[in-house]
A and B are shown apart, each in its own frame.
Chain A
Amino acid sequence: MIQAVNLCKSFGNLEVFKDLNININRGECVAVIGPSGTGKSVFFRTLAMLEKPDSGQVYINGTDITGKDVNINKVREKLGMVYQGFHLFSHLNVMDNITLAPLKVKKMNKSDAQKKAMELLTMVGLTDKSLSYPHQLSGGQQQRVAIARSLAMDPDIILFDEPTSALDPSMTGEVLAIIRKLARSGLTMMISTHEMSFAQDVASRVIYMDEKGIYEQGTADQIFKNPTREKTRMFIRKLKVFSYSINSRGFDMVEMNVQIELFCQKYNIEPKKVNYIQLVLEELILEVYGDSSINLQLKIDFTIEFSEERNEILISFVYDGRSFNPFEAAEESEHLGMVLIYGVSKNYGYSFENGLNTININI
């Protein structure tokens, strides 16, 4: 249906994406997610040849549309695009906005074009607005008209570029409902969105864009429930991360605690949990440095991941040196510090791999 091969795009020195490859099959609904500025819109615009790629090809139904001799207007008949800013013609009423392209480009006769427009307006629930002008409509209604206008050309695929980003939250639902209906009808579509629950619900495939390309992709379940790569995980779970390194026993714990408090204040982590975090870290550091057989210069790196979505905290505590599991040591003799860690943790785990001890603790 639509395929991108080694697609590259830069603006001056800014490389937006590099060697991007994707193949969208007929009937697929592909959600493209990722932080702002990772090139989702540019990618869509490049697929529609609204931006010229620096290199690489885009194929629609097997035809390379990046070729010099391609009639791009003909190609765009098969590729609809819905923008975040609606892009309706303000001097035309709804009916004329929808029928303009079928009349001018497809050379449909007026009554057929208007009949089809009314069918589409019925589908988007706006039959009574056919003679209204864009400024007389709400944002949500304008976007529904933009969707109807795009469908009027019977495209093979529609690209929705953040179709609800410019809308008041109260109007988001009406637009998403239309897109959901289209996805269920089997229309091939790609949608870039920040509406995660919507993407999870409608998409047959989810693509996470980052690091100048497709960072991870999979089914909605794979990406939303079991993302395998770090940045996807951080994005999906709305993770806020604090990292800190300790290089010797003589490190400044007061400064470390100040940094932890600043991080926690920034994300409104409740004071009780701040104390838990500091307690777990202090006790782990004491356990690790307290083990006399461990090199006193050993390096400790820890991260605190705060999931806003789940209101959960994960501490990952990594140190080098020989294998030393403080949980096992605590079983052999009573360690007050470990008793406190057990008490404030939801769960904990230890592993040793490639010379690194890793402790994960959920709070």
Chain B
Amino acid sequence: MNVNVVKSGDYSIISVEGRVDTTNAGEFEKAVMEVVNSGINMIIFNCSGLNYISSSGLRVFLIVQKRMMANKGQLKLCSLQPGITEIFDISGFSSIFSIFPDQDSAEKAG
């Protein structure tokens, strides 16, 4: 699993690559919460490189979502691979998150 953070306009783009499962969900959460705790409140998760996610990984997204809502910030997801979209659909997370087909449309959406 790799996490990279870059600035793009008003957003911090967190790119996730590889697998997020029970073996590294803690590490993933730590990396993401560092960004959230730094006061950034407009985040896009670019998931184009994410190829596996289990419930442990989904929970991290949920924690971040709750935190962003509490901070009145914005959290968006983009570029989910079909297999990841399916897991989001099965878990019902597709209706909880704002999901966009690509980073450009995520940034442009209000």
Contact = CB atoms under 8 A, between A and B. Distances in A.
A340 B90 contact: yes
Interface residues of A, number: 18
B30 interface: no
Interface string B48-71: 000110111011000000000000
B98 interface: no
B90 A337 contact: no
Interface in B21-55: 21-23, 51-52, 54-55
B91 A340 contact: yes
Given A253-B22, A253-B23, A282-B22, A339 B52 contact: no
Contact of A254 (B23, B51, B86, B90): B23
Nearest to A337: B55
Contact of B83 (A272, A339, A342): A272
Say what secondary structure dominates the interface of chain A: helix
Contact of A344 (B22, B56, B90): B90
Nearest to A335: B55
Interface in A260-319: 271-272, 275, 278-279, 282-283, 286
B55 A343 contact: no
Contacts of A340: 54-55, 87, 90-91
Given A272-B83, A275-B83, A336-B59, A283 B90 contact: no
12 contacts: A253-B21, A254-B23, A275-B83, A278-B21, A278-B52, A282-B56, A283-B54, A286-B55, A336-B55, A339-B90, A340-B90, A344-B90
Given A336-B55, A339-B91, 13 more contacts: A254-B23, A275-B51, A278-B52, A279-B54, A279-B87, A282-B56, A283-B54, A283-B55, A337-B54, A340-B54, A340-B55, A343-B86, A343-B90
